[in-house]
Structure 1
Amino acid sequence: MYKWFCVNKLSLNIAKTNYILFGRYTHQQDVAIIINNVTIQRVQATTFLGVLIDESLNWKNHINMVKSKLSKVASVTYKGSHCIDHSSMRTLYCSLFLPHLMYCCEMWGNTYVTNIQCIILIQKIIIRLIHGVNRWDQTNNLNSMI
């Protein structure tokens, strides 16, 4: 691999390089990968282009990371909901909330509903804040109004 990088005039940051084994029985396998006399570290989870990938591909770690970011946005939205009009709240939703929700959702969004339920709840809270409705009101019709 090192020779291929050299031939193609590419560089590999070995300090940031690691690998994951995907599958059920990955704990039994131990593979030693050595590049330029440096052993590449095996990890159970790593971040690639902002997406947290783990060896079981269940996306729980990534969803928890997204949930943490969305909770912060929900907190800011709640604090500003009393003095910001509907149009500005919608702009906040589209600029602060949706990018986190939509980024690479093609990969992690198809996981079990139980994994995503926490994100759906935060989204419903923000949608209710935007429209100024009670927390017990249904959000089915409100989603289309955004």
Structure 2
Amino acid sequence: MIRETIKSAQVQAMKAGDKDRLAAVRLILAKLKDRDIELRTASSVPDDDTIVVEVLQRMVKQRRESIDMFKSGGREELAAKEQAELDVIESFLPAQMTEEETKAAIESIKAEVGAASVKDMGKVMAVLKERHGSVVDMSKASGLVKAALS
């Protein structure tokens, strides 16, 4: 479903003559094609939306890291270009959970698995990723889980 949305966004960007958005959408489709090729030899393949969300989240993480590096290097024009790509990529991701919703999910998982210390962080993170991986920024969730367990 997300893949079809991305493909239709490509057509709309072509018709509108929006070159920047078209370039970003084509970049997303290229990454998805690469991932599809990787999965050809996999024994079990997750559903399509899961694959798309994983690819998009990886791209978001890369763009955020690039933006930080460009800003620290004084390259604001490159940071702005990356930010524009980031905005397009994020537009295709499902709505992310708020920090309060994430904390509530962490607390319920913590109680469910009986986590009591930071040693149990892996258990909580595994269940969190399994249940909410597509709608939670796992890098932020890691800090929240650590705070909840300490």
Same fold (TM over 0.5): no
Question: Where is the strand percentage greater, Structure 1 or Structure 2?
Answer: 1
TM-score, normalised to structure 2, is 0.32
Give the helix-richer structure, 1 or 2: 2
TM-score with structure 1 length normalisation?
Answer: 0.33
